Amino acid sequence: MTDPRIHLATHGMYRPDFESDACGVGLVAATDGRASRRVVQSAIDALKAVWHRGAVDADGKTGDGAGLHIDLPVKFFEEAIQLSGHRPMPNRLGVGMVFLPRTDLGAQETCRTIVESVIIEAGYTIYGWRQVPVDVSVIGQKAQATRPEIEQIMIAGPLPDKMTADEFEKDLYLVRRRIEKAVIAAQIQGFYICSLSCRSIVYKGLFLAESLSVFYPDLVDLRFESRVAIFHQRYSTNTFPQWWLAQPFRCLAHNGEINTVRGNKNWMLSHEIKMAAHAFREHSEDIKPVI
């Protein structure tokens, strides 16, 4: 049987000399478009299978970063809302996965205040914060030394007949940008929003691929179902491993280096002055800088 790579090289645009190894990234999706536990578990298993696409620190447990991007498990969070002493409303639900500075309790509280204030100013109700359970026994010394406080904020959005999911998602994007800018203005380090969405949620961190669902016990809950799951094992080459740089990001996961990051930022900055985002209208300034 002919090697498929040879066939591609002689009959297509494939060139084996351009091959290079970097991060491990993949996608699992339900062909029928229905959310299932199988999709989430398959993504967890697939992530374990690409462990070799990431690096391991000398401590044997600190990885370059691994994570999972899945649909928001609404039933799971409805129970979490009840456990917080609230009654889930028929409104759309939004959840933010947040990294907070773990060792600076003052900065931690300031971040929570900023997050809550911006959400309330946007006209939404906060059910409360949820401390995400984690198993720190599976992470190394370096990951532990830089580990953030990981919490989720649960938000009651608009009623479904008052605002579409697209509109609520857009609002949550504006809320996130306002929060991020306010935290930067407060000169607080160690704050990062992994995801803030009514559709999806991101679980990630500086652990080995095999440890994702151990570090985050949430992920073994059978109510974690999804139509699609993006998984990522990072191989850090031109940047240092950091919790917030683990992937997937909020909207994507990529394989390889982006050596033009500074150029991309400068290009976008130079074009923002003439940017007129019809979708955001008078709120366009809230999303700048875009990168």
Active site residues: 23
Q: How many CB atoms lie within 10 A of CB 274?
A: 6
Question: What are the CA-CA distances from residue 165 to residues 134, 171, 253 (Å)?
Answer: 30, 10, 23
* Angle separating helix axes 105-121 and 165-185, nearest 10 degrees: 140
**In contact, 248 and 69? CB cutoff 8 Å:** yes
Give kind and range of the element (H or E) at residue 70. Answer: strand 66-71
Structure token digits, residue 126:
């906060």
C-alpha separations of 250 from 97, 144, 166, 202 in Å = 10, 23, 15, 7
**b/e per residue 222-258 (b: at least 16 CB within 10 A):** eebbbbbbbbbbbbbeeeebebbbbbbbbeebebeee
Distances (CA, A) of 270 to 1, 246, 258, 275: 54, 28, 19, 10
From the list 21, 1, 2, the residue with the least C-alpha distance to 10 is: 2
